[in-house]
Amino acid sequence: MARICLAWLYAITKYGYPTPVDRMLNAFEDAARLGFRYVEVEAVGERNLREVEERRGELRAKLSELGLDLVNFAGIFREIVSPDSSEREKGLVMLERAAELAAYFGVEMLQTDTFTPPLEFVGARPYSSAVVFGERYRVRVDPAFSWRKFWSTLVETMRRASRIAAARGLKFIIEPRIGETVSNSDAMLRLIDEVGEDNFGAVLDVGHLHAAKELIPLSVEKLGGRIFYVHASDNDGRDNYHWAPGRGTVDWEGVFEALRKHGFRGPIAVDVGGPDIAARLDEEVATAREFLERMAAKYLG
């Protein structure tokens, strides 16, 4: 039976970003109340990471008390894509600390982002706050910026991060997200191929890919067995809203047929949230969980 878990977007929507540890404990209680057995957690920046480190025993005790298992630990440190090598090293050190926490909590996966390249944004910047849907972006590219050099550095950074995770028995995962360096399945596939580490794979983030106009069953076909995790949400195919699956225009039958073809057995997260549904968040999450349980039972056994 597929493991249906609650993604961290729930905590972000309800308790803020980054989510302080006191609110992480509340989010775990919410997950149990909503009928979940599996959850993920996210540390954003050095301060939030340090707080999780200091209170890791309390967090693990709460998970045990509630009968919850943690499947994924996300360490979100923008420094890892900095053009400054010393900043990148700081980011990798923080990611290594996140990997230690992942091992402590007994999870199977360590996640991070690829963030936005070092461009000058005129006005709004992607993910400057937690979740803003339907933004428009204008950028200026510095004449001194080299995409090939930046990409080469990213590949080496992700290779090092993969090895950090592998040393602790962890898979290392990235999700393509609109507006980031890796924003679609083809870029993700290229990164996987060039990093060349067996434990490096993808989060299939259905909401982001659908808003990017991808054909999700084809995305699954491209990434195949390198999909280690699924973030499930729906939208109208235009803005990257994160509604309950079935409320938008995603071809969920096609998605699950493709996942079955490639023998997917990883966790599937209810990745539902955002300001537009905050007032009915629990209802939306419950609807999503029931939908995904039905689809997983039908297609994945």
In tens, the pLDDT along 239-252 reads 889 999 999 999 99
Task: Determine the pLDDT at residue 143.
Answer: 87
Percent of the chain with pLDDT over 70: 97
Query: What's the one-letter identity of residue 18?
Result: P
CA angle 250, 276, 122 (to 5 degrees): 90
Task: Render pLDDT for 77-115 as a digit per residue (tens, 0 to 9).
Answer: 999 999 999 999 999 999 999 999 999 999 999 999 999
What confidence category does residue 142 fall into, taking pLDDT thresholds of 50, 70 and 90?
confident
Cα distances from 175 to residues 58, 200, 206, in angstroms, run 29, 11, 10
Q: Does pLDDT of 295 surpass 90?
A: yes
Q: Are 101 and 53 in contact (CB under 8 A)?
A: yes
Q: Which pLDDT score is estimated for 43?
A: 98
Q: What is the pLDDT of residue 263?
A: 97
More reliable by pLDDT, 119 or 186: 186
Q: Is the pLDDT of residue 132 over 70?
A: no
- Can you give the pLDDT at residue 171? 98
Mean pLDDT of the 5-12 span: 98
Report the phi/psi class of residue 298: left, alpha or beta, with left for phi > 0 and alpha for psi in -120 to 50. alpha
Name which of 198, 192, 262 is nearest 230 in CA terms: 262
Angstrom distance (rounded) from CA 225 to CA 227: 5
Return d(Cα 86, Cα 84) in angstroms, integer.
6
pLDDT confidence of residue 128: 59
Q: Is the pLDDT at 130 greater than 60, yes or no?
A: no
The pLDDT tens digits of the residues spanning 260-289 come to 999 999 999 999 999 999 999 999 999 999
What was the pLDDT predicted at 107? 97
Cβ-contact 74, 41 below 8 angstroms = yes
* Mean pLDDT score across all residues of the chain: 94
Architecture of domain 4-299: Alpha-Beta Barrel (3.20)
**Contact predicate 242/209, CB 8 Å:** no
Q: What predicted TM-score, i.e. pTM, was given to this entire model? A: 0.94
Q: Between 225 and 132, whose confidence is greater?
A: 225
pLDDT tier, 301 (very low <50, low <70, confident <90, very high otherwise): confident
Res. 136: pLDDT tops 90: no
Give the tens place of pLDDT for each residue, 51-82.
999 999 999 999 999 999 999 999 999 999 99
Cβ(174)–Cβ(114) under 8 Å?
A: yes
State the helix-helix crossing angle for 216-223 and 185-195, rounded to 10 degrees: 10
